[in-house]
Structure 1
Amino acid sequence: MSLIAHFSPRPSRKNRAARFDARPAADARQPPVSPSALMMLAGGGLIAASAAGWLLGAGGDNPPSRPARYAALGAALLAGSVLADSALEHYRGNYRRPAMGIAPLAAGATLATALATAISRRALTLKSAIFGASFTTGLFGLGFHLKNILERPGGLSFNNLFYRAPFGAPGALALAGASGLCAVAAENAAWRASEGTIEEDTGRILGLVTAGGMFGLTAEVGLLHFRGAFHNPLMYAPVAAVPLTGAAILAASVEPTGTRHATARRLLGATTALGLVGPLVHAYGVSRNMGGFGNWTQTLFQGPPIAAPPSLAGMALTGFAALDLLKRSAREHRHD
């Protein structure tokens, strides 16, 4: 023992307790179900919600218009992504708070309602109420996640944004609700159009919702891919393409010329492709973790999240709905 250590004053009992208590012990509580049971529950939830939506919409007369179908299918993709992703991510948090079970349940209800909206135009008022509740739940989730980040040591820092409750994740549920409301609005606009009502205002609203969703998804994807150090060049693709798509649909909504309409449609197609190919790329990333899918009870929860990319395709479908409603104005600009 050195002389400095020998003659250094010993910390008081209070200081020693504070030192030992500075880093709390790991939470001994375990998740309520096993990983395999969780996967069966999440898969069963997706199947049950899809079946419920089909049954609720089957047999209806007067199928919805194409813009309404696009927006409703976009809401369904977003809701399905939230259902699977939130079930896994909240499992990582041991479902320590009862509110953590709300997101998968709300996403399942939204998925069923969105599929029913894509099939039938019945009960639009009830569907609007469910979509509105989903939108509100997503906003509350954003608040809870932000509170979780700010309460951690360091507050709003990159470390907390990377490894605490993902700030933007509940926004996908809010976007699912907004897309569902857009589907109802598109159906109402298509119905009124037969009486001579112009659809441009509704299309512009859908376009602005799509643009806002694209910019929000860019922030979330960019943050998580930055956390991954962009170690794979493919990680740059959504960060580059999605904001361009948002800007294109925003420009087409403000002034729907033929050129802007065509550009936005091409970029929406590229974003849809990214959303559909993304799960395969993320699955490859999971396979690269130690143990690969042979150790799926660990690697699947380490990420990258396989269920997240379809939200890009879901938002793009809402953009296609907006362009369909704006195409009349685009044709008028082309003739001018």
Structure 2
Amino acid sequence: MTFILTTALEKVARNNLPLPASEAITTALEHLRQGCFQRSLCLVVSATSVASGLEVGYEHYKGSYSNPVMYTPVALSGALAGAGLLGVFSRNAATGILRYVSIATLADGIIGFFFHVRGIARKPGGWSLPITNIVMGPPIFAPLLFGTSAYLGLMASYLRREEELGQTEDAPDDSMQSERPDWRTELRYGKFQKHLSAVTAAWAFFSGFEALYSHYKTNFRYKAQWTPVLLTPILMAAAIGAIKSRRIANTALPATSTLALANGGVGFFYHARGIVRRPGGVKKPIYNILYGPPIFAPLLFAACGFLGIMASLLRRETR
């Protein structure tokens, strides 16, 4: 019998938790399985876009906003946060405003990636000195990581509202293998485990690579700086394996994703502590946040863990 993570979690909750808590967990898992968590994901989008907007805002401030295009991710992160918040209260905002703002933000991340690659190429030596210029130039994958919130927003725009749980009038039938349902329908009903596993693998690579050269700049002064670098290939392997295997998606992927989520939280603490320990500490918050360790960067790695955990709780596509 195939091990199903959500079934196991429900059993543990029923056997070990008080009735109100077990019912709450069971209901939450059912909402995830059926794709009825649009409001919740909109709230996550709003919160994460604020964090990513602050991160890109002060990084571009250090670059003196030398190119007007550097203002676009700051403006779009605010727009995405607002659209996500509207999506919590309005279905029309979630399926309309949030969707289009998310698409615009994803496009901006791709354009930003091009500008960062060009910035590295324009440094002395260009790509003939790849390690030096990647380390000292603009963070190459940061614009793509900026798109994490936008991707979640786009996904949220196709989900169903929490109150729609149990409505199955156009749900894809698992028994029908001759015709593959439209991807929008499968997403709407929580059947996108393989897809989200692939996204988790890609985002883990981007985030792990950013952690590698960011910590390389400080010569890996602390042993803890190796942990996201070492966890990255493990998380990627689990996410790639989850595309092919339901068992891996329900065992290795949630385990490694939980580690990544916890590691990002610990990293956030270390980065915040590093800022406080700079000369002036909390008395010079703006200066020390600007020139200390990037305070929100570890949360981008934690976001990869969040994506992996979400993927492990979803259902698989029809094919």
Q: TM-score range by the shorter chain?
A: 0.7 to 0.9
Q: 2: distance between equivalents of 1:219 and 1:78?
A: 20
User: 1:15-56 CA distances to partner (integer Å, 9 max, x unpaired)?
Assistant: xxxxxxxxxxxxxxxxxxxxxxxxxxxxxxxxxxxxxxxxxx
Deviates more, 1:86-95 or 1:263-272: 263-272
Query: Aligned to 1:122, what secondary structure does the other structure show?
Result: helix
1:168–1:220 Cα contact (<8 Å) kept? yes
Match of 1:105 in 2: 75
Query: Aligned to 2:315, what secondary structure does the other structure show?
Result: helix
How much does 1:183 deviate?
Answer: 2.6
Deviates more, 1:243-252 or 1:287-296: 287-296
The one-letter amino acid paired with 2:73 is A
Q: Structure 1 stretches of 5 or more lacking a match?
A: 1-61, 330-336
Deviates more, 1:210-219 or 1:184-193: 184-193
Match of 2:6 in 1: none
Match of 2:256 in 1: 267
Q: 1: distance between equivalents of 2:96 and 2:114?
A: 27
TM-score (norm 1): 0.69
1:71–1:317 Cα contact (<8 Å) kept? no
Alignment of 1:135-146 (within 5 A): 135-146=106-117
* Mapped pair 1:195 → 2:175: no
Runs of 4+ in 1 over 6 A off after TM superposition: 188-192
Q: 2: distance between equivalents of 1:181 and 1:205?
A: 14
Distance 1:97 1:137, change over 3 A: same
**2:84 pairs with one of 78, 91, 114:** 114
**1:214 pairs with one of 204, 211, 224:** 204
Match of 1:31 in 2: none
How much does 1:147 deviate?
Answer: 0.9
* Mapped pair 1:184 → 2:174: no
How much does 1:148 deviate?
Answer: 1.2
How much does 1:79 deviate?
Answer: 1.9
The one-letter amino acid paired with 1:133 is A
How much does 1:282 deviate?
Answer: 0.2
TM-score (norm 2): 0.73
Distance 1:87 1:328, change over 3 A: closer
Distance 1:118 1:247, change over 3 A: farther
**1:88 pairs with one of 43, 55, 58:** 58
Q: Structure 2 stretches of 5 or more lacking a match?
A: 1-30, 175-185
**2:143 pairs with one of 170, 175, 188:** 170
The one-letter amino acid paired with 1:183 is A
Distance 1:194 1:241, change over 3 A: farther
Query: Aligned to 2:58, what secondary structure does the other structure show?
Result: helix
The one-letter amino acid paired with 2:208 is T
Match of 2:214 in 1: 224
**1:286 pairs with one of 253, 262, 275:** 275
How much does 1:320 deviate?
Answer: 2.8
Alignment of 1:32-51 (within 5 A): none
Deviates more, 1:70-79 or 1:186-195: 186-195
Q: 2: distance between equivalents of 1:202 and 1:129?
A: 21
How much does 1:231 deviate?
Answer: 0.6
Alignment of 1:318-329 (within 5 A): 318-326=307-315
